[in-house]
Homo-oligomer: A and B are copies of this chain.
């Protein structure tokens, strides 16, 4: 049933074989295939990639860990550690070549492949998603749309006609969809999910506020507005409590902002 990977750093960690760590030879066997990049680092790599792309557009050819990390909102040690999972592509005393990093991150994230996307549920959100048109920075073309509403079937949205949810398995298989996006009401989500899985979809991005049950080989990520808002609510409440309790020291020495430390 594969637990959701949602929000906060899903654990999961399939016994991923660890690094071919250059040094390793020591003992004996060990080693396996590729390197186990921590889940948390993967998420950040995607952010670095975006920042780097922006920098490249501005004509930058080189960046230091300091520059890149501050643009990405992390500290430089973490950035360097994250990049080290890719291998050693920096130049000591200098920094990283932007184009090299972009290439390596893309390769690592599997962005050299195409990942065909289907969107299910063409309501407000589904519309928004369908109109993203080719999704973020290409590589994720939307190739199928589905809904239940007879009035929508056949209507083109973002240039693509809507199909009926009953056809999900067939259409997904035909069009080799690898990522299914669920933007339906919660009640429909599980059955849609089952059909996507039947259609051979490997990953699901779920916007519906339900915990999906999927077979172990399917990867699920959840985007949950209510959860996000409630987490923010928690922080507001906590802050308010602190103030009430008079323990508003909070930023003790030097009154720096926060985070920093």
Cβ distance A195 to chain B, nearest Cβ, rounded Å: 18
Cross-chain contact B108 with A234 (CB below 8 angstroms): yes
State which residues 34-56 of A face B: CB under 8 Å: 34, 37, 39-40, 42-47, 49-51
Q: How far is the CA of A227 from the CA of B70 in the complex (A)?
A: 18
**Per-residue 0/1 for A1-29: is the Cβ within 8 Å of any B Cβ (1 yes, 0 no)?**
11110111110111111001000000000
CB-defined contacts of A234 to chain B, threshold 8 Å: 37, 42, 108-110
CB-defined contacts of A203 to chain B, threshold 8 Å: 232, 235-236
Q: How far is the CA of A125 from the CA of B70 in the complex (A)?
A: 28
The 8 Å CB contact of A8, one of B3, B43, B131, B238, is B43
Cross-chain contact B257 with A39 (CB below 8 angstroms): no
User: Cβ of A198 < 8 Å from any Cβ of B?
Assistant: no
Interface of A is mostly: loop
Q: Evaluate whether A227 and B257 lie within 8 angstroms (CB atoms) in the complex, with A7-B7, A17-B247, A136-B209 already known.
A: no
Task: List residues of chain A with CB under 8 Å of any chain B CB.
Answer: 1-4, 6-10, 12-17, 20, 32-34, 37, 39-40, 42-47, 49-51, 70-75, 108-111, 113, 115, 117, 123-125, 127-129, 131-132, 135-137, 139-140, 178-179, 202-203, 205, 209, 211, 213, 215-217, 219, 221, 223-242, 244-245, 247, 249-252, 256-261
Beyond A2-B259, A136-B230, 20 additional contacts (C-beta under 8 Å) are A1-B73, A1-B259, A3-B259, A7-B9, A8-B43, A9-B9, A9-B40, A33-B244, A33-B245, A33-B247, A34-B245, A43-B231, A45-B230, A46-B224, A47-B227, A49-B230, A109-B233, A124-B128, A136-B226, A221-B232
